[in-house]
Amino acid sequence: MNLKPLGNTRRLFQNLWQIKTANDIGWNCQVTRFYSFSHRISGIQSIFHRSLILPTETRKECTNHFNGKYRHFQNSCFRQLHTSQTEVKQPVKATLQQEGKIVAIDWSNGGSSKFHSIWLRHNCQCGRCIQEGSGQRIFDISEISHELKVQSIEVKDTVVHFKWSDASNHEGEISLDYLQTNCYSQSSIKNRYSAVQINKLAKEIPVVNYIDVIQKKKELYRWLHLVNEYGICLMKDVPAEDKAHLALADLIGPVQETNYGKTFDVKSAPNPVNIAYSSVGLSLHMDLVYMESPPGLQLLHCLRFDDCVEGGESTYLDLFHIVEEFRKSHPKYFQILSTIPATFYKCHYDRENPFHLVYQKPHIVLNHHKQVVGLNWAPPFEGPLLVEEDDVLMYYEAYEELGKAIMNTDKMLTYGMKVGDLMVFNNHRILHGRNEFRLNGGIRHLQGCYIGIDDFKCKVQVLSNQVGDGQPPKHVGNQSWL
Ligand SMILES: [Fe+2]
Ligand SMILES: [Zn+2]
């Protein structure tokens, strides 16, 4: 079977059929070639992704059989996520500029990309640079001068061949697909960044059902997708059994254990080690902000909530939205809170496992584009401010305003947990609290655990590629936009 670049839809589907046949009779390398080629077909690209390429089995087989080349395919998915879905480019011209310091590629749609010679060398995909199997780089770019040049280039099929001017006159190759995927032109970067911007604010908490989620992979994806889009999602009808939430956590990733243990029980107790284990109200906050990497998702499962218990409703607020509004309404305070660091603090020796944790960081964390990539808000765990004298009043003035913005918003969500409810929310994005309650002789018992934000983000992306639309996760407040 020989797949040639196709010029029309009919031939495209002929080849689709051939691919299907190849799948039936066993894989051959034409299938891999097809992936590269499929990205060159304008408009129909997304059909491929949804109908033919996305089935899990296909991906698995592809992974097993074509480890190295499959990377290109994965990158293609990544590109699809981060650039315009309909924009598919073919190279029309590849030229050397500035005596080989730059390679310029003009694409058929009129767009162009420029790559620095050192960047290309760093990304060489030849067998001497990338280990077959693991796909990992096996050379150190710092050993090569950043001033090296490309001596010659040649485009053959879907691959660009390079010869560099380093000591060994290294000859290598990079697929066009890879170059498109990782193009760092201004517009490509802009597309990537806008694709992951948080743009949904929950007016009410989205809901999924337990049975659906545990039975169908698509529903699992839908659940995590909602958590990613809105920062929060409620699951109904989870069996009210001890540790039942751990089986759900397993569907996402490993539990992130903390000093409070693998799971924790939010139940009133005399002399509690945490204010949460009393009956007082809790103002909106994030958990364990005094750590370098606070827990990502929090799962809270309601095991018991007796009718006689009064109050105790849970409260939630999407802090990303509040802070973006705050940036517009109070730019000066926004700037102050993104530079002067607060002290987050938990020192508690009167417990079995003494705590002594201190972490200094600003409430608002920005990246090099001044985008908000992290937020830290936890009034119960803010310790003594340790900054220059001149900064103290400024800090408190700005803090007071952000505090008011959080307290006075109409975007807070309130929900009274019922037995069998499981709330999951992103602790890097959604503030949580609860109203004061009176037990009146009854019991209020929630059980929970945490999951690392990396594991969550990873799962969303994998499921999106396997059973979803291939979109990237929205950024999750883990200090990184992408
Ligand atoms: Fe909390
Ligand atoms: Zn190489």
- CA of 288 relative to ligand 1 center, distance in Å: 8
Work out the number of other CB atoms within 10 angstroms of the CB of residue 198: 20
Ligand nearest to the CA of 448: 1
- CA of 223 relative to ligand 1 center, distance in Å: 22
H or E segment to which residue 361 belongs: strand 355-361
Q: Kindly state the greatest CA–CA separation across the chain.
A: 82
Give the residue among 84, 27, 54, 50 at the shortest CA–CA distance from 462: 54
Q: How many residues does the chain have?
A: 482
Q: What's the token pair of residue 243?
A: 């540790």
Ligand nearest to the CA of 288: 1
Ligand nearest to the CA of 314: 1
pLDDT recorded at residue 274: 74
- CA of 482 relative to ligand 1 center, distance in Å: 27
pLDDT recorded at residue 417: 97
- CA of 239 relative to ligand 2 center, distance in Å: 55
| Dihedral sign (CA 469, 472, 474, 477) | positive
Ligand nearest to the CA of 127: 2
pLDDT recorded at residue 91: 61
Q: What's the token pair of residue 106?
A: 């003009």
Q: What's the token pair of residue 8?
A: 């029309």
H or E segment to which residue 152 belongs: strand 150-156
- CA of 73 relative to ligand 2 center, distance in Å: 19
Question: Residues whose CB is under 5 A from ligand 1 (ion)?
Answer: 287
Q: Which residues contact 454 (CB under 8 A, 6 or more apart)?
A: 296, 478
Q: What is the CATH number of domain 91-195?
A: 3.30.2020.30
- CA of 162 relative to ligand 2 center, distance in Å: 9
- CA of 97 relative to ligand 2 center, distance in Å: 21
- CA of 276 relative to ligand 1 center, distance in Å: 7
Ligand nearest to the CA of 141: 2
- CA of 140 relative to ligand 2 center, distance in Å: 11
pLDDT recorded at residue 20: 36
- CA of 196 relative to ligand 1 center, distance in Å: 27
pLDDT recorded at residue 457: 98
Ligand nearest to the CA of 169: 2
Ligand nearest to the CA of 172: 2
Q: Looking at the chain, which residues constitute the CATH 3.60.130.10 domain(s)?
A: 207-467
- CA of 100 relative to ligand 1 center, distance in Å: 56
CA–CA dist 444, 276 (Å, integer): 12
- CA of 26 relative to ligand 2 center, distance in Å: 30
Ligand nearest to the CA of 283: 1
Ligand nearest to the CA of 123: 2
Strands 364-366 and 232-236: what pairing? unpaired
- CA of 429 relative to ligand 1 center, distance in Å: 13
Alpha carbon distances (Å) from 37 to 27, 160, 183: 17, 14, 18
pLDDT recorded at residue 429: 98
The CATH number, out of the four listed (3.60.130.10, 3.40.50.1100, 1.20.1730.10, 3.30.360.10), of the domain defined by the range 207-467: 3.60.130.10
Q: Looking at the chain, which residues constitute the CATH 3.30.2020.30 domain(s)?
A: 91-195
- CA of 31 relative to ligand 2 center, distance in Å: 24
Q: What's the token pair of residue 80?
A: 């699809």
Ligand nearest to the CA of 161: 2
Ligand nearest to the CA of 285: 1
pLDDT recorded at residue 172: 97
Ligand nearest to the CA of 282: 1
| Dihedral sign (CA 260, 263, 266, 269) | negative
Q: Which residues contact 296 (CB under 8 A, 6 or more apart)?
A: 256, 426, 427, 428, 450, 451, 452, 453, 454, 455, 456, 476, 478
Compute the C-alpha angle 403/408/414, nearest 5°. 105
CA–CA dist 285, 198 (Å, integer): 20
One pLDDT digit (tens) per residue for the chain, 482 residues:
333 333 333 333 333 333 333 333 333 333 333 333 333 333 333 333 332 233 333 333 333 333 334 444 444 444 444 333 334 456 668 999 999 999 999 887 788 999 999 999 999 999 999 999 999 999 999 999 999 999 999 999 889 999 999 888 999 999 998 998 899 999 999 999 999 999 999 999 999 999 999 999 999 999 999 999 999 999 999 999 999 999 999 999 999 999 889 999 998 766 667 777 778 899 999 999 999 999 999 999 999 999 999 999 999 999 999 999 999 999 999 999 999 999 999 999 988 888 899 999 999 999 999 999 999 999 999 999 999 999 999 999 999 999 999 999 999 999 999 999 999 999 999 999 999 999 998 999 999 999 999 999 999 999 999 999 999 999 999 999 99
Ligand nearest to the CA of 174: 2
Residue pair 173/202 in contact (Cβ under 8 Å)? The answer is no
- CA of 169 relative to ligand 2 center, distance in Å: 10
Ligand nearest to the CA of 128: 2
Q: Which residues, listed in sequence order, are joined to residue 164 by a DSSP beta bridge?
A: 150
